Amino acid sequence: MRVGIITLGCDKNTVDNEYVAGLLAEAGCEVTPLSWDEAPEFPLDAAIITTCGFIHSAKQQSVDSIAALAEQKREQGNPKRLFVAGCLAQRYAEELLHEIPEIDGLVGVGQFDQLARMVLGGEDGHVDAHRPSPVVDIYRLIRRRRIEQTPHAFLKISDGCNHACTFCSIPSMKGKLRSVPPEILLDEARGLLDQGVRELNLVAQDLADYGRDRWKDYRLPELLRDLAALDGDFWLRCLYVYPGGITDRFLEVLASEPKIVPYLDMPLQHLDTETLHRMKRPHREVNTVQLVRRLREALPNLTLRTTMIVGFPGETPQAHQRMLDLVEELRFDRLGVFQYSREEDTPAAAMPRQVGKQVREKRWHAVMERQAEISARLNERRMGRHERVLVEAYDADQRLWVGRSGAEAPEIDGNIFFSAPGYLRVGDFVHVEITEPDVYDLYGRQSVPQAVS
């Protein structure tokens, strides 16, 4: 069987689709990635769309992708069968099956075996197997088949969330926190490294919560120690660590393990105290200014990334200005900005003083412009530095290699474009002298290892 897979939404969906691809490959299927906005270029026995249901724009992309493949199936018979999985399927199963009868099978979150059985023909007909009560629980090793052959991969250490942020629908779609046992994660990491992966990016809803649901004495710092002890030359990167999880033990591990790049994605969502209380952000009592100062003292070479939401209900001009002022003061190396999305069945959707679309857009532009200035200034400081870079691709149009240093996370940050005197391989670590900064990307040339700063 030839099965096409579309991955929408977050990098946790990337991992989930690689679980499914692994199960199908073990059964003899040929699994290939598909683009969400292009028709299949070859005949497919089946197609799987793993959806996102987080915010309106992501839900719309998922619906559009399902509708496009359903039309292809109806008019051209390609794919022969269509399956839908993931968060949107978990949240809107009945609506999807009613509106798009071309769907042959639907599962919610965490149902990898069920989905594989559907695709392989073990279950026939128009099937809805999503779980009314969602849960994503990894209880055994599933050999992942990598869909995109990049030198980086995501290692999902937990899924689900115990937080109660008022704007967020993730707990209703993913359920409670479920940490993956360390022995499974270590085996999975070894398998990825054996396949040529040179960078493992740890992901979860909140990495700092890892182990809270299962163990007293084995948490994120212990997992990082064990992962760093694996054989090979590779990077470890921490994405999505909430402020309350920045413990002394965690910082000590980051500072002492050379395989862990000095990079931290710490989603804050706002910098105004009253807004954070309405958001019900966990650990909202943490003093952000002091925390950032503490991080930079402990890790002088730290690259700090965060995200902000503008236009949350009740956000006043003064609250927005406080965000702008602190963005300028704290100088985050990376900053993602989102306009508040009013999601049904969340407490924030029923809050008074909803902020209008035009105001949200204006505030979004203001933060983006402020951060662009900061990013440009920070990139200028990297001029002349020699940095270790992971080679990810070759850009034939620019005739330059494309890579990232430890300061750039895959798929969300900029790239380093550089020239080299000879042929390189994707997955190589090389040293690059930065010769030209841009707002988000950098340009340089390959240099000698002895010159690394």
pTM: 0.93
- Which residues, in sequence order, are CB contacts of 354 under 8 Å at separation 6+? 313, 342
**Average pLDDT value for residue range 384-413:** 95
Degrees, nearest 5: CA angle 224-50-129? 105
- Structure confidence at residue 130 (pLDDT): 72
The whole-angstrom separation of Cα 206 and Cα 220 is 10
Task: Say yes or no to pLDDT of 451 above 70.
Answer: no
Query: Per-residue pLDDT averaged across 252-268, rounded?
Result: 96
Model pLDDT, residue 126? 60
For range 383-407, the mean pLDDT: 95
User: Residue 161's pLDDT is what?
Assistant: 94
pLDDT attached to residue 122: 59
Over residues 321-356, the pLDDT tens digits come to 999 999 999 999 999 999 999 998 899 999 999 999
Q: What is the pLDDT of residues 166-199, one digit of tens each?
A: 999 999 999 999 999 999 999 999 999 999 999 9
Overall average pLDDT of the 264-292 stretch: 93
Reply yes or no on whether the pLDDT at 26 is more than 90: yes
CATH 3.80.30.20 fits 152-380, yes or no: yes
Work out the mean pLDDT of the chain and round it to a whole number.
Answer: 93
Taking 80 as the threshold, does the pLDDT of residue 418 lie above it?
yes
Q: Domain map of the chain by residue range?
A: 2-128, 152-380, 386-451
**Which pLDDT does position 55 carry in this prediction?**
85
The per-residue pLDDT for range 35-50, each reduced to its tens digit, is 877 878 889 999 999 9
Q: What is the fold, at CATH topology level, of the domain defined by 2-128?
A: Rossmann fold (3.40.50)
Residues 6+ away with beta carbon under 8 Å from 140: 184
Beta partners for 304? 264
Residue 123: the pLDDT is 56
Q: Where are the beta strands (DSSP E) in 255-333?
A: 260-265, 303-310
Mean pLDDT of 76-80: 94
Residue with tokens 């946790």: 12
Q: Which tokens go with 90?
A: 């978990």
SS3 label, residue 302: coil
pLDDT at 56: 85
Topology annotation, domain 386-451: OB fold (Dihydrolipoamide Acetyltransferase, E2P) (2.40.50)
Read off φ and ψ for residue 214, nearest 5 degrees.
Answer: -130, -40
Which range (118-132, 159-173, 235-249) has the least confidence?
A: 118-132
Q: Residue 418 forms beta bridges with which residues?
A: 401, 444
